[in-house]
Structure 1
């Protein structure tokens, strides 16, 4: 699917900045109702053996499907056995009690690359992810969400820091589709990604695209005015609104109001914040 159409599907319910308070309340009520109906399914249909340098491993293709009241929108990632192993180890530290009956596919001394073992693991890992997701505290945990999104985010931010804005944007649009599936309980979690998309669009001189994603970020920050991204985002949005001939006065008022409450601040731009994310 083309990224643009994917974005339209994801954000077809997004409100606009001219909504009244009553309309916004209704919007969020609908959002919550949709979120309650959303379920995420995991499928591992295939795997491939990867050989590079001196290493050899199996990469498992994971398809994540969101069901419920939304259109199905698949996200596809690849993870290797060691990624699953690390996830399991990290989750055990925080959720030992919840995971006491879970079995994790053991690594064999030999035969890890046979078709039989790979097929067994495909099924086992699919069941494992479904089981983890069924436990609320685990599916909302940083480690679980990070397992599904972090490698792609690290690559995207690396491209952003390297000035490869087109590639970074492509990766970020992919990952935000998945992040939205996983973070409906806390929409503010995707603020950094939304703002990184704003930065990419802006540096690619697509002011309209930048403004569109900036609006989505501001909407999620309405109840989080102390968020570190709030003031830099407002400053960027004022510039974009001015360029596009949109209302920037209300944004300016919000900015001045926030600054008056916070006192003197060290000026940080949205881009400066974005490039600091996922520094390895």
Structure 2
């Protein structure tokens, strides 16, 4: 905690308090710039950016909101928040498990509202994150197979070549010996995951 405090004392980017006219456009712009400088400072100082309080400040409410929207099938409302949350998490290179869950949620929501091309683009990003890192496959192992089944369907809807997806699907199924019928639906899996996390 002392190290956090000493780091914070180094930051001098906040504008001074204004007692009169604190809602004027100039003051608001100045304070927004100060907040941006602060976030950049925290991100640069890895110690601060990894604290739970910073995570809570930065994206906890967004994660909670999108979880609620997903449970209530309010996919339209969830999409923009999920897109912003993913960009933020990815730029901070934070919590791989949360990034993978966020991407999977985004893909499902985009598909649900008929934005198939966007769903495909984000699904490709998600698959790349799984394939480029064995650690990611381990972290997101419960999502990987449902994601592949989802992608196989999405690629089919868009008339895209499914051979690579199907090869990955077959390879992923071998250790589990699961058929299509036994693989959980990605949306159901995400909802179960949210419910479990809510209990803990």
TM-score (norm 1): 0.52
SS at match of 1:163: coil
Match of 1:273 in 2: 189
Note the 1:47-66 alignment, pairs <5 A. Answer: none
Indicate the SS of the match to 2:120: helix
Q: Deviations over 1:121-140 (max 9, x none)?
A: x6997776555333213324
Q: 1:243 to 1:130 in 2, by over 3 A?
A: closer
Unaligned runs of at least 5 residues, structure 1: 1-91, 104-112
The Cα shift of 1:162 comes to 1.4
Which secondary structure state, in structure 2, belongs to the residue aligned with residue 221 of structure 1? Answer: helix
Number of the residue aligned with 1:216: 125
Structure 2 counterpart of 1:260: 174
Query: What corresponds to 1:51 in structure 2?
Result: none
CA distance in 2: counterparts of 1:260 and 1:115, whole angstroms: 68
Q: Aligned residues, how many?
A: 175
User: Alpha carbons of 1:263 and 1:178: their partners in 2 closer, same or farther (altered >3 Å)?
Assistant: same
* Aligned counterparts of 1:235 and 1:124: Cα–Cα separation in 2: 45
Instruction: Give the match for residue 72 of structure 2.
Output: 162
Task: Report matched runs for 1:1-280 at 5 Å.
Answer: 92=1, 96-100=2-6, 102=8, 129=39, 131-183=41-93, 189-222=98-131, 223=133, 224-226=136-138, 227=140, 228-263=142-177, 267-275=183-191, 276-277=193-194, 279=198
Check whether the contact 1:154–1:279 (CA below 8 A) recurs between aligned residues. no
Point out the structure with the larger strand share: 1
Aligned counterparts of 2:62 and 2:44: Cα–Cα separation in 1: 24
Q: In structure 2, how many angstroms separate the alpha carbons of the residues matched to 1:194 and 1:211?
A: 11
More helix by share: 2
CA contact (8 A) 2:43 2:92 kept: no
Decide whether the 8 Å contact of 1:187 with 1:220 is kept in 2.
Answer: no
Measured on the aligned residues, the alpha-carbon RMSD in Å equals 3.4
Contact 2:89 2:99 in 1 (8 A): yes
8 Å contact from structure 2 (residues 89, 95) kept in 1: no
Contact 1:145 1:182 in 2 (8 A): no
- Secondary structure in 1 aligned to 2:5? coil
